[in-house]
Structure 1
Amino acid sequence: MSRLRRMPRQQQPARPARRRSYDQFCATARALDSVGDRWTLLIVRELLAGPRRYTDLHADLPGVSTDVLASRLKDMEQGGLAVRRRLPPPAAAAVYELTERGRGLLPVLAALDRWGAPALGERRPTDAVRAHWFALPLLRALDRLTHGGVVEVRLAEGEFHIRTGAEAGGGDAYGYGPADRPDACLVLDAEVVLELGRGGCTLAEAVEEGRAKVLGEGPLADELRGGGHPGA
Structure 2
Amino acid sequence: MPVQRGYRQACGVARGLDIVGERWSLLVVRELLLGPKRFTDLQQALPGASPNALSDRLRELADAGVLRRRQLPPPGNTRVYELTTWGHDLEPIVVALGTWALAAPPTPEQIFVSADSAMLTIRTYYVPTPDQPAQTLQIDLRDHGPAGTFTAHLTSSGAAVAHEPPEQPDAVLVTTTEALLAAFGDDDVPGLVAADAVITGDADVVRRLLSSVHVPPATDPR
Alignment TM-score, normalising by the size of structure 1: 0.66
In structure 1, C-alpha distance between the alignment counterparts of 2:117 and 2:92, rounded to whole Å: 15
Residue pair 2:38, 2:81 contacting (<8 A) in 1 also: yes
Residue pair 1:21, 1:33 contacting (<8 A) in 2 also: yes
Residue pair 1:85, 1:95 contacting (<8 A) in 2 also: yes
RMSD: 3.7
> Radius of gyration: which is bigger?
1
1:120 corresponds to which letter in structure 2? P
Q: Unpaired runs of 5+ in structure 2? A: 214-222
Structure having greater relative contact order (Cα 8 Å, sep ≥ 6) = 2
Distance 1:24 1:114, change over 3 A: same
Distance 1:180 1:186, change over 3 A: same
Matched residue count: 201
1:67 corresponds to which letter in structure 2? N
Distance 1:142 1:68, change over 3 A: same
Cα deviation, residue 182, structure 1:
3.5
In structure 1, C-alpha distance between the alignment counterparts of 2:18 and 2:83, rounded to whole Å: 18
**Aligned-partner SS, 2:211:** coil
In structure 2, C-alpha distance between the alignment counterparts of 1:60 and 1:27, rounded to whole Å: 29
Q: Unpaired runs of 5+ in structure 1? A: 1-15
- Aligned pairs for 1:1-232 (under 5 A) are 20-117=5-102, 118-120=104-106, 124=109, 127-144=111-128, 150-158=136-144, 159-161=148-150, 162-164=152-154, 173-175=161-163, 178-186=165-173, 189-191=176-178, 193-195=180-182, 201-202=185-186, 204=187, 206-207=188-189, 210-211=191-192, 216=201, 221=205, 224=208, 227-228=211-212
In structure 1, C-alpha distance between the alignment counterparts of 2:106 and 2:68, rounded to whole Å: 32
In structure 2, C-alpha distance between the alignment counterparts of 1:152 and 1:119, rounded to whole Å: 30
Distance 1:78 1:140, change over 3 A: same
**Aligned-partner SS, 1:24:** coil
Residue pair 1:83, 1:97 contacting (<8 A) in 2 also: yes
Residue pair 1:214, 1:224 contacting (<8 A) in 2 also: no
Residue pair 1:60, 1:130 contacting (<8 A) in 2 also: yes
Residue pair 2:171, 2:200 contacting (<8 A) in 1 also: yes
Distance 1:101 1:222, change over 3 A: same
**Aligned-partner SS, 2:37:** coil
Identity between Structure 1 and Structure 2 (%): 33
**Aligned-partner SS, 1:211:** helix
1:42 corresponds to which letter in structure 2? L
